[in-house]
Chains A and B, each alone.
Chain A
Amino acid sequence: MRTRILGIASGAGIAVALYFALIYAPTEQTMGVLQRVFYFHLPQAILSYIAAFMVGFGSLMYLATRDLKWDRFAYCNAELGVLFTATTLITGMIWGRLAWNTWWAGDARTNLELILGLLYVGYLMLRGYLPEREKRARLSTVFGFLAVLDVPINYGAIYWWDTQHPKPVLGPRGGGADPDIKLAIYVSLITFTIVYAWLLTKRLGVARIEDEVGELEAAVETA
């Protein structure tokens, strides 16, 4: 039921976000139409960070309680982390090709986002090589914590190093933007947060069946 509500909210939210991004928001003066990439790029990037915190939280809770439901929570978020990091990087590359005349600027922000994606992939690959359920859960927490460490460095990269990546327009250190542009950003951000929650509930449902099948396989083998 909860998954269905989130699914309906996600579909409606995407329609509204598309309206705000393509019609409601005014065309930005410097970048022109290309700036509209930003309405989808920014939420993907923020959610790729949130995925890292969720993986870290799940890992920490697993180590504290040894309850496998937290491990499931962590690795489902890691899979979403791969998806959102990939979409962040690809949308950023499309923007960069036209704005900077290069697919990959290789600055600190983009490189650290790539590292974040590779940490998620490493986390999932490590799990693939460890057949024992508890050992898999325990050892993969290391990659979960590394992903958490990447996020503040990634966020601070544009302040600490000389990067081409634009400075933020939202928040206390933001450069400011037209109120309609800001509203379109918030609508998109809320929409993709709902989408994230929907995908997570769907993935967790599949993960529960995976564990059930694993237990049944072990029971059938020993019988």
Chain B
Amino acid sequence: MRRYSAFAIAREALRHHTGWERAWKSAAPKSRYDVVIVGAGGHGLATAYWLGRNHGITNVAVIEKGWLGGGNTGRNTTIIRSNYLQDPSAALYEKSRSLYETMSQDLNYNVMFSPRGVLMLAQTEHEKRGYLRTAHANALQGITTRFIGPAEVKKICPIMNIDGPRYPVLGGLWQERAGTARHDAVAWGYARACSDMGMDIVEQCEVTGVTRDGARVTGLSTTRGDIACDKLGIVVAGHSGRLAEMAGFRLPVESVPLQALVSEPIKPCMDIVVMANTVHGYMSQSDKGEMVIGGGTDGYNAYTQRGSFQHIEETVRALVETFPMISRLKMLRQWGGIVDMTGDRSPILSRTPVENCFINCGWGTGGFKATPGSGWAFAELMATGASPLTAAFGMERFREGRFIDESVAAGVAH
């Protein structure tokens, strides 16, 4: 792999950019691998990357039904934060956030991590008390957050209307080192690094069945032939239920559409990320100047990657009250992603009832922020059989009643 650098740009400028090579090799699947990861989104690729980097396992294939990073990795609103209430979540998300800080250097790929700060608005008394509690919990977990009052909110984000009356701003939970990153670049950077380690990234390859020898997984059938493997990692987000069904077990997961939309580009007006959880409105400004808006999920199962119009209407209606200046903006694009929701709104990183088959799913509406940490922890689980970061996230927690309850703890957003 040729490294990207300022020198490389200068060199290519002198020879009409003829020396750039493909970032990752397009591979045909071999008949056998040590580890096969299903799903070439951020989490799947990060898992493969850390399997190679931390555990020396490079006979790995990452197979993908569509194109690389074309699912929720390319559909989210790119928010990165770690201000969670429960200790296991805080540990996992903070690991992830800290890996984002050095990701561009680690991968030699600019993922445009921008620690611009994330502000979670308290717009009801209940929410305010909840965030005060989270700020105290974060202090104990060693995560730097603080609760700020309305005056400081207005200072950090002048375009906000803090007076209400419908949605007054009573303060906010402020995490200064949280922010955003370029979502596609995260997938591309990992793919390039995995390919460089000799791993195969196989796109346009849909899994049609999971083969087992008794209770042990032995491989996959795919639209591009059978692939044998010692270990199988399922990292397919909204379609986890389908893969689990093929492997022969059922998940505590339901799939629903989550929507986002972006406006026409405007001049810089907002240099932080604001999350208004009461009204399901999440907004930041991209480097291109578009206002990136995330909405709420549909209340019923669907795989449409579209979502219901009423949720967009709700989100925009509420945001216009808090940000009056966006009322005249035209929206350019709207889309949906299929998110996998668990009962406690926390992910599953787990062994499964099928031996040597592991699953990483249930990230619900907030998986992007967890991409590097999820890969780190899941790779450790797959390689060694256990990881301190995943210990609390086993799928058996639902049977045993050991929930990591972020749905009540964090209001709604994840």
**A and B are interacting partners:** no
Which positions in B face A, CB cutoff 8 Å? none
Which positions in A face B, CB cutoff 8 Å? none
